[in-house]
Amino acid sequence: MTQKNNSSTPIRIPTCAELATEGKTPDVLFWVGCAGSFDDRAKKVTKSFARILHHADINFAILGTEESCTGDPAKRAGNEFLFQMMALQNIQLLNAYHIKKIVTACPHCFNTLKNEYPELGGQYEVIHHSQFLLELIETGKIKVNGNSFRGKKITYHDPCYLGRANDVYEAPRDLIEKLDLEITEMKRSREKGFCCGAGGAQMFKEAEPGNKEVNIERAEEAMALSPDIIAVGCPFCNTMLTDGIKINEKQDKITVLDLAEMIAQANNL
Amino acid sequence: MISSLIFILIFFSAFGFFLFRVIKIRRNILLGTDAQLEGTVSQRIFTMLCVAFGQSKMTARPVAFFLHLFVYTAFLFTQIELLEIIIDGVSGGHRTIWHWIENSAIAITYTILINAIELLSILAFFATIAFISRRNIIRLARFQKPEMKGWPSLDANLILSGELFLILSIMLMNSADVALQHMGQSQSTGKFLISNLIAPVWQNTDSATLHILERVGWWGHLIGILGFMVYLPFSKHFHILLAFPNTFFTNQKSKGKFTNLAAVTSEVKLMLDPTLPPPDANAPLPKFGAKDVQHLTWKNLMDAYTCTECGRCTSVCPANLTGKKLSPRKIMMDTRDRLEEVGKNIDKHGKDYLDNKSLLDRISEEELWACTSCNACVQACPVNINPLEIILELRRDLVMEQSKAPSSLNAMFSNIENNAAPWQFSPMDRANWTQEMN
Ligand code: SF4
Ligand code: SF4
């Protein structure tokens, strides 16, 4: 395997604005999202995914500092004004750059861009990074090395906005199987998947009074399988489960990994 | 003759009563706003056939699925027997359909059908006993939540007892008839397996008593069924009818897609581009979100009347399972109860009457803000009800009409407004990660 991106040469990530000055448009826009841009844990996923895109020679770009929140948390919290303000501005920008295809590592951005933007004038082919990565492997654009995770026990947590909200259950699982791993499923998986507790703007507020945090309930369910890895496909699930594992002091035994990180690792990227 | 008259009188008053109530419910449902429903007619029919007719979503819980299946199929088949009861009732005859076909090639179908009904009735009988014990002896958690206290529990038990009564009376009727057939006192209708097993109980009973018992069973079953019909639209049991239209009108969208408010779009467009023509100053102010039932769509309201109170939604709700007050079933029950209240107000005081109450008096902010919008409730509902839509509309009212979001959410809003991200980061730092790519 040729090692194009030798880790000593930094990879340059083009922005749509830069491409536009050369009269170019990217084949795919990588929508990074707020978590992927600012949250330290999610930024690692962003970088892994960008490395894979670069490694596979994809003609992609990001919006960079021009990207704004899709408006998802505002909408789920009932603030339709703010949502549509963000949406209409984003759509203006995306249309100005003639974007046709968007890939994102955040199921919330994915859902909003895919389902809620079209009526407002933003029609794009929107895919989740798990689907994109699977396609890259299936078309031979990237190869994966099953050795990286040999002997590891893995479970997969369905993000609500990828699974139930958009019926994407198989792509992440197929992707994991490409790594020669067999998933040990939690009892509540696929259609019955249990929320990590972050959706519907919960990420940004204290939980209502109750007897447990949702993320702890879910982390405990995953921990009961004693996996080495909990695979996730959402930056918010990632935070929630990582916290749930830490509270139970299991962080030395169990790692929460995003699908993109796993694929990058399997490529030594 | 007299009995025919009594029959016709009872039958038509019950039916009239039922119809009157159904028309009221229809009016109440139509108090809702327009619904934007996606999907084609063939998708709708398919969904209805799978979910309502085929019970597809019940399979998630196999025990409940089979128990419910017995009751459901017994109910479907009994409708055929009901047809004969009506014909007999009006004509004063006995097993009229059998008489019509007894000498024809299809006579056997009668025997087969009655046998099927008997078999299903027995299965339904045991299923009903199981249902009663699940609620009252085993006390399954989902039937013990706060919203089930009082009337909802009584309602369920009344319906279940009614089912037992119906099954017992039909078995009484058939077994007494079979015993009479054995005595040569009633015309043979082919073998009824189950009644044949019960008939020996009547060995020492004389034929006059048997004739009376057969009639008691017949009238009992009839009155049971009519009572059931009258009671139905006052009960969560109304789902046996509404499940069909309600699944037919399922919004065939991705579950993650929330409606875009058109009134907001025009205002936001105007803010972003002041050269656009201003809206008509005389147009009524649009209402954002829902404070009361009339602001919800008619589909939300149909959902409310369709709810079976089964609690499958609540039993998978992450908020409820972690001890929060939110229960999606309660959202549906509150919506229905408030709609009933609004309907009664209209009956009493005319259609413009306002009672200064609203759905938000019944559903607290604490419940609404606990929702993670995970769609587990929507997925779990056996009759395709969507509690999440109602939760979102109520949140929209809290936020856009009353500015009553929790303070942390207000902070998130202002971050998005000022920094284009829900956190307090500078938009200029958004692409900083690209500098760390090695
Ligand atoms: S969408 Fe809301 S109400 Fe429904 S199950 Fe999830 S948290 Fe509960
Ligand atoms: S909304 Fe659906 S799942 Fe929930 S109680 Fe009603 S019928 Fe059952």
DSSP secondary structure string for all residues of A207-226: PPS-SS-HHHHHHHHHHTT-
Q: Which of B309, B320, B391 best tests ligand 2's pocket when mutated (most atoms within 8 Å of CB)?
A: B309
Cα separation, B101 vs B107, in Å, equals 5
Q: What single string gives the DSSP state of each residue in A228-256?
A: SEEEES-HHHHHHHHHHHHHTT-TTT-EE
State pLDDT tens for residues A101-136.
999 999 999 999 999 999 999 999 999 999 999 999
DSSP annotation of A174 reads H
Cα separation, B323 vs B332, in Å, equals 19
How confident is the model over B114-136, as a mean pLDDT?
A: 94
Both tokens of B46, joined, read 């398919």
How confident is the model over A195-199, as a mean pLDDT?
A: 95
DSSP annotation of A31 reads E
**Cα A30 off chain centre by:** 11
State pLDDT tens for residues B97-107.
888 888 888 88
Chain B residues closer than 8 Å to A81 by CB: 264, 267-268, 400
Q: Are A254 and A229 in contact (CB under 8 A)?
A: yes
Which A residues in the span 162-181 are in contact with B, Cβ-Cβ below 8 Å? 164-167
Q: Are A115 and B254 in contact (CB under 8 A)?
A: yes
Alpha helix positions (H), A56-186: 72-76, 80-96, 107-111, 129-138, 170-178
Please give, one letter per residue, the 3-state secondary structure of chain B: CHHHHHHHHHHHHHHHHHHHHHHHHHHHHCCCECCCCCCCHHHHHHHHHHHHHCCHHHHHCHHHHHHHHHHHHHHHHHHHHHHHHHHHHHHCCCCHHHHHHCCCCCHHHHHHHHHHHHHHHHHHHHHHHHHHHHHHCCCCHHHCCHHHCCHHHHHHHHHHHHHHHHHHHHHHHHHHHHHHHHCCCCCCCCCCHHHHHHHHHHCCCCHHHHHHHHHHHHHHHHHHHHHHHHHHHHCHHHHHHHHHHHHHCCCCCCCCCCCCCHHHHHHHHHHHCCCCCCCCCCCCCCCCCCCCHHHCEHHHHHHHHHCCCCCHHHHHCHHHHCCCCCCHHHHHHHHHHHHHHHHHHHHHHCCCCCCCCCHHHCCCHHHHHCCCCCCHHHHHCCCCCCHHHHHHHHHHHHHHHCCCCCHHHHHHHHHHHHHCCCCCCCHHHCCHHHHHCC
Provide the pLDDT for residue B4.
87
Write down the residue that tokens 């009655």 correspond to.
Answer: B114
Which A residues in the span 80-119 are in contact with B, Cβ-Cβ below 8 Å? 80-82, 84-86, 88-89, 92, 111, 114-116, 119
Chain A residues closer than 8 Å to B408 by CB: 204-206
Residues 6 or more apart whose CB falls under 8 angstroms from that of B215 comprise none
CATH architecture, domain defined by A142-266? 3-Layer(aba) Sandwich (3.40)
Share of chain B above pLDDT 70, in %: 100
Q: Does the pLDDT at position B14 exceed 70?
A: yes
Is A199 in the B-facing interface, judged by CB distances under 8 Å?
yes
Q: Does the pLDDT at position B361 exceed 70?
A: yes
Q: Does the pLDDT at position B334 exceed 70?
A: yes
How do the domains of chain B map onto residue ranges?
2-239, 262-277+287-424
Q: Does the domain formed by A2-134 have CATH 3.40.50?
A: yes
**Helix (H), strand (E) at residue A128:** strand A125-128
Provide the pLDDT for residue A26.
97
How confident is the model over B376-385, as a mean pLDDT?
A: 97
CB atoms within 10 A of CB B71: 22
State pLDDT tens for residues B276-321.
887 777 777 788 999 999 999 999 999 999 999 999 999 999 999 9
Radius of gyration of chain A (CA): 18
Q: Does the pLDDT at position B40 exceed 60?
A: yes
Both tokens of B318, joined, read 């992450």
Closest by CA to A135, choosing from A123, A125, A122, is: A125
Q: Does the pLDDT at position A2 exceed 70?
A: no
**Helix (H), strand (E) at residue A28:** strand A28-31
Q: Do A165 and B255 touch (CB under 8 A)?
A: yes
In CATH terms, are A2-134 and A142-266 the same topology? yes
Among the partner residues A84, A160, A211, nearest to B260 by beta-carbon distance: A84
Is the model more confident about B391 or about B281? B391
The closest residue, in CA terms, to atom 2 on ligand 1 is B371
Provide the pLDDT for residue A8.
54
How do the domains of chain A map onto residue ranges?
2-134, 142-266
Closest atom, ligand 2, to C-alpha of B333: 6
Is A77 in the B-facing interface, judged by CB distances under 8 Å?
yes
Q: Does the pLDDT at position B362 exceed 60?
A: yes
Q: Do B430 and A12 touch (CB under 8 A)?
A: no
- Give the CA-trace dihedral at A226, A169, A37, B416, to 10 degrees: -110
Is A32 in the B-facing interface, judged by CB distances under 8 Å?
yes
Nearest CA in chain A to B267: A81
Q: Are B415 and B409 in contact (CB under 8 A)?
A: no
Both tokens of B243, joined, read 């499940």
Q: How far is CA B173 from CA A78, B89, B184, B196, B227, in A?
A: 58, 14, 16, 12, 18
Between helix B151-182 and helix B62-91 the angle, nearest 10°, is 60
DSSP annotation of A191 reads G
Radius of gyration of chain B (CA): 28
Q: Does the pLDDT at position B370 exceed 80?
A: yes
* pTM of the predicted structure, to 2 decimals: 0.94
Q: Does the pLDDT at position A84 exceed 80?
A: yes
The finding on whether B332 has its CB within 6 A of some atom of ligand 1 is no
Q: Does the pLDDT at position B47 exceed 50?
A: yes
Q: How far is CA A101 from CA A41, A104, A125, A145, in A?
A: 26, 10, 5, 28
Provide the pLDDT for residue B102.
84
**Residue A202, min C-alpha distance to chain B (Å):** 6
Q: Are B207 and B248 in contact (CB under 8 A)?
A: no
State pLDDT tens for residues B75-84.
888 888 888 8
Q: Does the pLDDT at position A152 exceed 90?
A: yes
B133-168 CB burial, b ≥16 within 10 A, e <16: ebbeeeeeebbebebbeeebeebbeebbebbebbbb
Q: Do B413 and A79 touch (CB under 8 A)?
A: yes
Write down the residue that tokens 């190869």 correspond to.
Answer: A143
Confidence of residue A1 (pLDDT cuts 50, 70, 90): very low
CATH number assigned to the domain with residue range B262-277+287-424, chosen from the 4 options 1.25.40, 1.10.1060, 3.40.1130, 1.10.3470: 1.10.1060
Q: Do A10 and B437 touch (CB under 8 A)?
A: yes
**Residue A30, min C-alpha distance to chain B (Å):** 12
Among A7-16, A245-254, B28-37, B264-273, where is mean pLDDT lowest? A7-16
